[in-house]
Chain A
Amino acid sequence: MFKKILIANRGEIAVRVVRACHEMGIAAVVVYSDVDRAALHVRKADEAYPLGTAAASESYLNISKILDVARRSGADAIHPGYGFLSENAKFAQACVDAGVKFIGPTSAAMEAMGSKTRARQAMEKVGIPFVPGTSRGVESLQQAKEVAARIGYPVMLKAAAGGGGKGMRLVHAPEQLKSSLDEARSEAERSFGDSEVYIEKAIINPRHIEMQVLADEHGNTVYLGERECSLQRRHQKVLEEAPSPIVDSDMRRRMGEVAVRVAKAAAYTNAGTVEFLVDQQKNFYFLEMNTRLQVEHPVTELVTGLDLVHLQIRIAAGEKLPFTQDDVRPRGHAIECRIYAEDPDNNYFPSPGKITLLLEPSGPGIRRDSGMYEGWNVPIDYDPLLAKLIGYGTDRDQAISRLMRALNEYFVGGIKTNIALFRRILRDPDFRAAKLDTGFLDRMLKRREEKAGDSRLAEVAALAAGIFVALGSTAAAGEYAAANGVAAGDKTVSNWKNASRGEALR
């Protein structure tokens, strides 16, 4: 087993991996950029090394700096987390060359899956079901027209090197094809430095369901069940659950076997995820393989009882999978909410800044993977994911009610978050009925949220607002003083404040 692992990441996932290391008696080394010196992952680590300025290219994406830290710290393995270098085949190879074990698949497996068109060509050979379309980039408008006519409109144009919705266009009719193709190509070129675009039949209101796989380095590959990831905004996942409400044991087995075939075709090792689009008739089509640990891995952990990060580390250390496919039995239901620093009143724009107040939920069936703490300044430089709140229950209804209860306990002050969005989702009748597809969230957000308009609660708010001012806590102290005709900072105010605080601290 490894003695020391370098975690080449930040935020909640770096904390998650530090915790796994400590649980396994392994020393955890972290890296940080200038704006992350005070970040939680640095506080939790055994060793921490500065990388440089905030820009990812100078810090968390800088291969030579990270390998230099591996050498200096004497780490024998590197966990890349998700994002940053996690799916970078060059990095995986550079680790091999530097004699450090990369906790993830080989660079060859990553390369095979890295380009959507190349992955598609490889998978077609082993009979994996695909959405009808081209497995190569389209060469001309004429060819695009022919393909689109053959598979039938609407069609989707997609960047071969893509992800996150960039370089994607939905085309309803032949006359839109030229402009959409030009746009998709230039966006793909700008975003990925590669203008290759391919065409697929557009599946209307699909579900996005993915299958977790795990493969050791001795040829054993298993699937750990699916995650329903249909709740997305701007092609980014917002809420995930396991199991999917529409997948029964027969469909799970069929999807799982396809996922294992995909992994084996790529000689895949370690943890990976095979993504599928599922149409309204429950036909599933291979979309892509994510060659890393996913953000939403905790829902699978809760329903399988397995620790995926422990298993990743054990597999990388050369151990065999400690169980077989038959041992994997999902139990109960888990739902994850991605808590982002973003402003629901301002089109969900990122809202970095100082966290002035943090009340965190706990209690039965609640897991919280967080990278924040009270007093921490959320930097403007990185992804706005702050934490993940996961609810677990005997069944879906109980998981929902526990999550709702926990969301009501959760409070982040000083910055804005999307916590209220999840209350709205969990209350939604279609969500409750598990009528989910990738358009669900956009449709829900287009409807105006009717406010309950509880006049009794509004009165409580009015009363509380006055008391907050009267108590003179910080910003409002001046107004309090004006009301009383005394100077701000008057002794009465502070006594009063101290007395009530002292009471609460008992």
Chain B
Amino acid sequence: MRLRNSEEWELTTVLMLYDVIIDGKNYQLDLSRAEGRWSCHLDGRELGVDAILARPDVLSLRIGNLAYEVKLERVASEWHLWVGSTRFAAEVRDPRSLRGRARAGDDQGPKKILAPMPGKVVRLLVRNGDAVELGTGVAVVEAMKMQNEIKSPKKGTIQKILVGEGAAVNAGDVLAIVE
């Protein structure tokens, strides 16, 4: 991979290794830089890549002579990438960090119930200690004159409710914890 205006960068070699998950499929990506030149291996195959960050979250890519504009959509902690008009769910993990792995496959233990969008909690449908099924309504959040029932992601017991009726919430705020 080549990034323009690279003269000023140090001449050390930096290797970056990522596990990238695109729509559920795993890719291993090595990006390395040596003496201002970049090389890129996707699942072991070398690709000639030229990248320009046109503006934050917008990447102009050349792979060989094929040109792509890639846009990064971030809403709360979710990443989606648009390649042209095709959208992909994306997750990037640094294999040396255990944090990403710990999250995967974690269906046991307490689970947070998050607000999917900013809004106002108009009603709580459960109380602390209530038993809930997968899909039981937990709270009603209103935004833009529409009411949305937030459902339990698993069967269990409501361990804690963290918001009150009438509270304003942001996307990703924890409404309750189910155990």
Contact = CB atoms under 8 A, between A and B. Distances in A.
A468 B170 CA distance: 25
Given A463-B42, A479-B92, A349 B71 contact: no
Interface string B4-47: 11101110001011101011010101010000000010100001
Interface in A5-32: none
Interface string A468-506: 111101111001101110000000100111011111100
A408 to B, nearest CB: 5
Interface stretch (B76-84, B103-111, B128-136, B159-167): B76-84
A382 B116 CA distance: 18
A384 interface: yes
B46 to A, nearest CB: 12
Contacts of B57: 356-357, 413, 468, 473
A465 B20 contact: yes
B53 A501 contact: yes
Interface stretch (A43-51, A259-267, A453-461): A453-461
Contact of B3 (A415, A469, A473, A500): A500
A353 B78 CA distance: 15
Nearest to A469: B92
Given A479-B94, A483-B96, A452 B86 contact: yes
A214 B145 CA distance: 32
Contacts of A454: 86
Interface residues of B: mostly helix, strand, loop or mixed?
strand
Interface in A334-361: 341, 343, 346-347, 349-353, 356-357, 359
A352 B61 contact: no
A384 B142 CA distance: 13
B8 A499 contact: yes
Contacts of B55: 357, 501, 504
A204 interface: no
A464 interface: yes
B29 A461 contact: no
B65 interface: no
A241 B90 CA distance: 36
Contacts of A305: none
A359 B73 CA distance: 12
Contacts of B171: 353
Interface size bracket, B side: 35 or more
A320 interface: no
A464 B42 CA distance: 11
Interface string A383-416: 1100000000000000000000001100101111
A499 B52 CA distance: 10
Given A380-B119, A479-B97, A501-B53, A461 B90 contact: yes
A500 B72 CA distance: 17
Interface in A168-198: none
Contacts of B170: 353
B144 A471 contact: no
B58 A359 contact: yes
Contacts of B58: 357, 359
Contacts of B22: 458, 461-462, 465
Nearest to A454: B86
A458 B87 CA distance: 9
B100 to A, nearest CB: 9
Given A461-B22, A461-B81, A484 B14 contact: yes
Contacts of A475: 74
Given A382-B144, A470-B16, A465 B31 contact: no
Contacts of B29: 462-463, 465-466
Nearest to A463: B42
Contacts of A479: 92, 94, 97
Contacts of A126: none
A248 B51 CA distance: 52
Contact of A380 (B27, B31, B54, B120): B120
Contact of A500 (B4, B83, B94, B120): B4
Interface of B: 1, 3-6, 8-10, 14, 16-18, 20, 22-23, 25, 27, 29, 31, 40, 42, 47, 49, 51-61, 63, 68, 70-75, 79, 81-88, 90-92, 94, 96-97, 116-120, 142-146, 148, 170-171
18 contacts: A343-B116, A353-B118, A357-B57, A380-B119, A411-B73, A413-B72, A420-B87, A452-B86, A460-B83, A462-B20, A462-B22, A466-B18, A466-B29, A468-B59, A468-B81, A470-B16, A495-B8, A500-B51
Interface of A: 341, 343, 346-347, 349-353, 356-357, 359, 380-384, 407-408, 411, 413-416, 420, 423, 451-452, 454, 457-471, 473-476, 479-480, 482-484, 492, 495-497, 499-504
